[in-house]
Structure 1
Amino acid sequence: MNNLTSRQVKQLKSKAHHLSPIFQVGKNGVNENFTEQISDVLEKRELIKISVLQNCLEDKDDIAKQISDATESHIVTVIGNTIILYKQSEKAGKIELS
């Protein structure tokens, strides 16, 4: 898995700005079923936001790393309680990175 360049991170952040979080991590944390669902959505959308709720006991950076490792995706950024993930689709790449 190649690392994203700063230019690509900037491009992905701007695309993610208008997205709403489609997953929430709560007090139950991250499990296998949760990561499978995220992986499926990443294949379709490539770029997603995940919200970490206040009642979550784990550190949001650790959660981002767990999800990234399980889904083989890139962590674009962790801002506040929001995680932005990117994974290039194997079938049809919608997002062109420069």
Structure 2
Amino acid sequence: MPLTNQQIRHLRSLAHHLKPIVMIGEKGVTENLSTELNRALEDHELIKVSIAGADKEERGTITKALCQTSGAQLVQRIGRISVLYRPSQKPQIVIPTRN
């Protein structure tokens, strides 16, 4: 289910103060990284991911791969930081409903 603009704005405001939980280095997306990403999304629902050592196009490709493998949705991407959201089994974040 794609997020509405209102929901994205709300999630961006919640993510503003967060620090990156998942950091991707030169090895890129590995199986262990995918496991940690899924664990972080289940625990926090809304996370920041830091992607180091890549150019703009490569960071976009990595972000898309992360979203596809984890089932998360991209909320925002600024520079080397991507904000991902995926509701967990026990939702902690209440996002505005669609109008």
Instruction: Settle same-fold status: TM greater than 0.5.
Output: yes
Instruction: Measure, in 1, the Cα distance between the counterparts of 2:43 and 2:21.
Output: 13
Q: CA 1:56–1:26 in structure 2 vs 1: closer, same or farther (change >3 Å)?
A: farther
**Number of residue pairs matched?**
95
Contact 1:29-1:56 within 8 A present in 2 as well: no
User: What CA RMSD, in Å, does the superposition of the two structures yield over aligned residues?
Assistant: 1.2
TM-score under structure 1 normalisation?
A: 0.91
Residue 11 of structure 1 corresponds to 10
TM-score by length of 2: 0.90
Contact 2:21 2:40 in 1 (8 A): no
CA distance in 2, matches of 1:59, 1:78: 13
CA distance, structure 2, for counterparts of residue 93 and residue 74 of structure 1: 15
* Partner residue, 1:96: 94
Identity of aligned residues (%): 35
Runs of 4+ in 1 over 6 A off after TM superposition: none
Q: 1:37-76 to 2 correspondence within 5 Å?
A: 37-53=36-52, 55-56=53-54, 59-76=58-75
2: CA distance, partners of 1:48 / 1:29: 18
Answering whether residue 6 of structure 2 is matched by residue 30 of structure 1, we say no
Instruction: Name structure 2 gaps, 5 residues minimum.
Output: none
Q: Secondary structure at the match of 1:85?
A: strand
Q: Which runs of 5+ in 1 are unaligned?
A: none
